[in-house]
Amino acid sequence: MFSAGNFSGIKFEKMHGNGNDFIMIDEFDKEIVREDEKPLFASIYCNRRLGIGADGVIFLQRSDVADVRMRLFQQDKSEAEMCGNGIRCLVRLAHECGRISGGKCTVETLAGIIPITYHEEDGFWVRVGMGKVSEISRLNINNTEVFAVDTGVPHAVVFVNDLDFDIEKKALPIRWSKKFPRGTNVDFVKIDEWEIVVRTFERGVEGETLSCGTGAVASAVVAKELGMVGDEVVVRTKGGVLKVSFEEDTAYLEGCAEKVFKGIIV
């Protein structure tokens, strides 16, 4: 088992998108954390009592097919395909480090190449092209109606009338259902007129996060398909407000990226 001292001297930034928080490391010019040690690094420093504390560690890297590349590792040592809140933080870091400019870029992820636009009016705002809306599957898991949709990562959307409940108890049977071979995030959604309120249990984190960007999109996609919302959707999470919009069959996610602090591991 590595101790914190094995990673001493590493510079990082802490950022969040709607309370979904990340340890950010710039590896554009050189590798900072060895490839085989990245999962372990995440397991140590995402710990909120014994480490820095975060929902994940994001590495900004050079890409051969896009302007920049995003790698996201979580506390359970898994590497996630994509993250709608995390990619906004990555774009802010890339912009402030001089890796991108001009208000738009592309980001390579395990879920594909993501088109981005951003601006710095009233904060640092990022619009993420989430791609074409995937097919929605309707499932029954433990007598619960579940809508499965992939927005870069797998999501299970459940509509509820009340969001005041033990989310872990409700989410775990769905999160580990054999109907999701890769596992799944679980989004509980309440319709509030033409807006939606979402609580998300995230795989990899293995708990509720204050916000989930891909979960906001998944929830909006299903709600729109069922005629509950229109082409522009306000999504309220515990961490704040996100906006999801649809142009033909493509979904877009818009939200902020906030800096928290910088540090050096000692």
Domain CATH code at residue 197 = 3.10.310.10
Q: Hey, which residues are catalytic here?
A: 83, 212
Same domain, 33 and 112: yes
Same domain, 204 and 138: yes
Q: Would you give the DSSP letter of residue 82?
A: -
| pTM score | 0.91
Same domain, 122 and 146: no
CB 90 within 8 A of CB 70: yes
Same domain, 170 and 115: no
Cβ contacts of 188 within 8 Å, gap of 6 or more:
158, 159, 160, 163, 167, 170, 171, 198, 199, 200
Count of structural domains, the chain:
2
Same domain, 161 and 189: yes
Same domain, 75 and 112: yes
Same domain, 104 and 143: no
- CA-to-CA dists, residue 235 to 139, 229, 253, angstroms: 24, 11, 10
The pLDDT tens digits for 19-68 are: 999 999 999 999 999 999 999 999 999 999 999 999 999 999 999 999 99
The pLDDT tens digits for 210-234 are: 999 999 999 999 999 999 999 999 9
pLDDT of residue 194: 87
pLDDT of residue 148: 97
Residues of the domain holding 77: 4-130+256-264
For residues 60 and 91, give the distance between their C-alpha atoms in angstroms, rounded to a whole number: 9
Same domain, 107 and 150: no
Same domain, 125 and 183: no
- CA-to-CA dists, residue 20 to 11, 23, 197, angstroms: 20, 11, 16
Same domain, 123 and 141: no
Same domain, 107 and 169: no
Q: Mean pLDDT of all residues in the chain?
A: 95
pLDDT of residue 1: 42
| Residue 2 pLDDT class (50, 70, 90 cuts) | very low
Same domain, 64 and 163: no
pLDDT of residue 132: 87
